[in-house]
Amino acid sequence: MPSRNYIISAAIILLLAAGLIFLPEKNNKKELAPEELLQELQNDKRFVSVDQLAVLMIEEDPTLVLVDVRDPGSFVEYSLPGAINIPVENMLEEDYQQYFDRAELQIVFYSNSHILAEQAWMIKKRQEVNNIRILKGGLNQWTKDILLAEAPPETAPKEAFDRYNFLMGARKYFVGASGAFDPAAQGDIVETAPKKVPKIPVKVKKEKELEGCF
């Protein structure tokens, strides 16, 4: 009699085990649910404005990691000072995970407009990476605001002039002396070490501009 009970118990356990095999395994992955991702998509905190980024860069914020998500060709042609290049198609490679694992970093994705950067951000966000923001408007907005800033009309409110003055200051800083990196002498640049590889092409370009004094 007990042996039959054992058989029945064993049958239950086997049945449960068989059932577990067929359970959808998606639930096991740690991911942000679509609903949560939708929430994030409506949150303006995912953006960093041109002005905010300029401040971070001028202050040499050691936690800032600027990531150009465009293709390597575009990156070499022109990129923001100090940026590293992680093309969208390589976004999920293990090599880059070191950046996304470090919660103390402020990663900023940028592309020409911000749509490519935003899509890259969505993929990483789905993987529950929370230290990434997107440069709103991308390089187009950056160039328009900082390099091509125009003086506001005289009737504009004071804030408009304050912002204009800020942008002009930022412009001087970014196009200035070999560039932009001189004031770095004041800060500790130890923390920016991971950026060293990509910095090279950017610096080389700026040097060329300096050579204008020949």
Partner 1 sequence: MKQSTRTRGLILLTVFLAAVIILGLIFRKNNHAEYQLSTDASLALLLEEEPFVSLDDAYVLLSNEESNAVFVDLRSPDVFGKGHFENAVNIPIHHLLDPSTLERLEDSTTFVLYGENASQAGGAWALLRQMGFTNIKALQGSYEAYLDGAPSELVNSAEYDFQTIFDQVATAEKGKVLPVEEKEPPKKVVLPKKKAEKPVSEGCF
Q: List contacts with partner 1 (CB under 8 A).
A: 1, 5, 8-9, 11-12, 15-16, 19, 22-24, 26, 31, 33-35, 37-38, 41-42, 74, 77-78, 88-89, 91-92, 111-116, 118-119, 122-123, 126-127, 139-140, 143-144, 147-148, 171-172, 175-178, 181-186, 189, 203, 205, 207, 209-214
| Residue among 156 and 168 whose Cβ is closer to partner 1 | 168
| Residue among 21 and 159 whose Cβ is closer to partner 1 | 21
Angle (nearest 5°) at CA 207 between 204 and 212: 140
The whole-angstrom separation of Cα 177 and Cα 97 is 34
Of 109, 111, 101, the closest CA to residue 132 belongs to 109
Longest Cα separation, the chain:
103
Shortest separation between residue 106's beta carbon and partner 1, angstroms? 21
Shortest separation between residue 12's beta carbon and partner 1, angstroms? 5
| Residue among 22 and 157 whose Cβ is closer to partner 1 | 22
Query: DSSP states of 132-198 as a string?
Result: EEEETTHHHHHIIIIIS--PPPTTS-HHHHHHHHHHHHHHHHHHSTTGGGGGGGGS--GGGGGGHHH
| Residue among 158 and 197 whose Cβ is closer to partner 1 | 197
Please state the separation of Cα 209 from the chain's center in Å.
28
Shortest separation between residue 64's beta carbon and partner 1, angstroms? 17
Q: Is 118 within 8 Å of 48 (Cβ atoms)?
A: no
What length is written for the chain? 214
| Residue among 81 and 105 whose Cβ is closer to partner 1 | 81
Shortest separation between residue 20's beta carbon and partner 1, angstroms? 8
Shortest separation between residue 7's beta carbon and partner 1, angstroms? 10
| Residue among 123 and 156 whose Cβ is closer to partner 1 | 123
Shortest separation between residue 56's beta carbon and partner 1, angstroms? 19
Of 139, 130, 137, 167, the closest CA to residue 83 belongs to 139
